Amino acid sequence: MALVLGIDEAGYGPVLGPLVCGATLWRASDAQVDADWWDVLADAVARAHRGGDARLAVGDSKEVFDRKRGLHSLERTVLAFATACGLARPVLSEWLTALGAGRLGDACPWYRDIALPLPRDPARSAASGAAARLKASMDGHGVGLVAMRAAVVTEDAFNARVARTRNKGAVILEAVLRHIAWALERAGGEPLCVRVDRLGGRTNYRDVLMSAWPERPLQVLAADDDRSAYRLGGRPECELIFAAGAEERYLAVALASMLAKYVRELLMECFNAYWLDRAPGLRPTAGYYTDAQRFLADIRPLLGQGPPAADVFVRAR
């Protein structure tokens, strides 16, 4: 048996809102580690939503999530997997704690009260039946979800790290390395296989990995336009693959992408609710550049009336 860790982010590009790095940790038989898990778990999951198909859609969050359809296009799948591995919680604050996100900073007041009840769309996100089918499928096919994690980088923390490093990419890389370190601690004697979507087009991770684990020998297995692969020696042995389009190749990464996007959408709901309370009738924003400029113009009269100042929550890069 081996552990498989899938990692992906949501919110790297927006001007407003948090950056979230999601991770899903699995245990798989040796024969299933490199298998196509969409095929392995085909009785419970599919790559996309299809009318009349009760299976869970698992894919790149940019493809699966349809804002017009509603949050349930993410929520049903994410909460079904959370239920199947014992991580479901009734409110957002408790769920973030279970995901290892910890307490969010007080500099952004919209994170001070995040007791949103989950699911947000109970009728369309009902997942108990899907979770039961999923667990039965995983139990029967030698592939099982062990844990889910989410690292939340709030806007103020993002700006602080960019100011120190002068490198936006370093912020998400730090979150990725924290997830890998967490999985290595959990692995014990089991080998760990890490699958990560390429980070901002970076192709070389050798120096980063050597700096993070200087006591471990590092072997470069592949370094080309398609993927960068490494092996960390020591115990547990760890194979790491940073691949272009990893959400399409690895179900573990696709689910991490959906988890990260779902957590970000919930936190954006808190963000929008805070400003809507101060400006009734305000149109919410998803935080991406063009609409973020519209939103900032709409709330400009409020920015001189007390904290937070715009430079706290408007992302630096």
What residue segments make up the domains of the chain, in order of their start?
A: 2-271
Q: What is the pLDDT of residue 306?
A: 74
Q: Give the separation between CA 78 and CA 233, rounded to whole angstroms.
A: 33
Residues of the chain with pLDDT under 70: none
Locate tokens 């002068």: which residue?
A: 166
216 exposed, middle or buried (CB, 10 Å; 0-12, 13-18, 19+)? middle
Cβ neighbours for 241, distance < 8 A, ≥ 6 positions apart: 193, 194, 195, 196, 227, 228, 229
Distances (CA, A) of 66 to 46, 173, 179: 16, 27, 28
What pLDDT sits at residue 317? Answer: 79
Provide the pLDDT for residue 232. Answer: 97
Give the pLDDT of residue 50.
84
The superfamily in CATH containing domain 2-271 is Ribonuclease H-like superfamily/Ribonuclease H (3.30.420.10)
Say what angle helices 251-278 and 72-84 make with each other, to 10 degrees.
120
C-alpha closest to that of 110 among 9, 16, 8, 11 = 16
